[in-house]
Amino acid sequence: MMGQVLIAEFSKLRRSKVTWASLAGLSMGPLGIALFMWIVREPGRAASLGLLGTKANLAGLEATWPAYADALTLIVGIGGMILLSFVVAYIFGREYTEATAKNMLALPVARHRFVIAKLVVAAAWWAVLTAIVVAEAVAVGFLLGLPGFSAEIVTGMIGNALLAAAISYLLVPVVAWVTVAGRGYMPPLAFAIAMMALGNLFGKTGWGPYFPWSIVPTLVGMVGEPLGGLPVGSYVVLALTFAAGVGGTIAQLRYADNSQ
């Protein structure tokens, strides 16, 4: 039965344009980084094209592999938190906006199977996006010919990007919970924006590594110096957040009424 539910959930994405839109959105990240790297390296030519090469230099950006690696981790981490919220809101919320929730809730299938299947779809979706964008970033970095290359920097860049992607995914079950409780797209998106704001706020305090939505900004250095690694407490908080989100979503669907 679980296999059939998974097949059904993956089949829903077959003709969806959202998957391609999400790939296009995230894949712009490495290209945007490359543009700023080029501006720093060629400020005169960039200025002649109307680009603000001087401001890019004043921002302290360096056209090197270490700086490129940090920027990619930032794109995958922060971009992932935003994009994954949209992805999960779409996967769970479309049942209500397309009036198919009544079919899902009426099927003789344990409702927790739908939650697990949808989260597996989100995980697979995010894994493919991350793999493509990281591969794209490595290729773009080589094409730029950035100085400071070493195998350790590239493997570290890939590892940090994957870690940021994994942390972002551990937060999405809470977004799923808000989606099924709000029965649509708007509540989870508003929740995601609010959590991003709170994450930025708490990231500037000593609680950053222990507030779920501050962990990625703190890790990638968005609200301070990048961390060399996360404390054990951060992983405990992430695990508890993931478990609470999954449990809350299952409970919400299990006791939900069919109002359509």
Confidence of residue 69 (pLDDT cuts 50, 70, 90): confident
Token digits of residue 50 = 């109307």
Least confident of 60-64, 91-95, 181-185, 252-256: 60-64
| Distance (Å, whole) CA 175 – CA 114 | 15
CA distance 178 to 241: 13
How many other CB atoms are there within 10 angstroms of residue 118's CB atom?
A: 24
- The answer to whether residue 57 scores a pLDDT higher than 60 is no
Every domain of the chain and the residues it spans: 2-32+63-254
Instruction: State pLDDT tens for residues 82-120.
Output: 899 999 999 998 888 877 777 777 777 787 888 899 999
Of 13 and 89, more confident: 89
pLDDT tens string 194-239: 998 888 888 787 788 889 998 888 877 666 665 567 889 999 999 9
- Alpha helices (H) along 98-171: 101-106, 111-144, 151-170
Enclosing H/E stretch for 239: helix 232-254
**More confidently predicted of 228 and 32:** 32
| Residue 209 DSSP label | G
* Mean pLDDT of all residues belonging to the chain: 84
Q: How many residues does the chain have?
A: 260
3-state SS class at 251: helix
pLDDT computed for residue 237 by the predictor: 94
* Residues 144 and 37 sit within 8 Å (Cβ to Cβ): yes
What was the pLDDT predicted at 95?
82
Separation in Å, CA 113 to CA 64, 127, 245? 47, 21, 15
Q: What percent of the chain has pLDDT above 70? A: 88
Please give the sequence-ordered ranges of beta strands (E in DSSP) within 25-99, or none if there are none: none
Compute the Cα dihedral for 15, 119, 222, 193 and give only its sign: positive
66 is written with which tokens? 């270490």
- Is the pLDDT at 43 greater than 80? The verdict is no
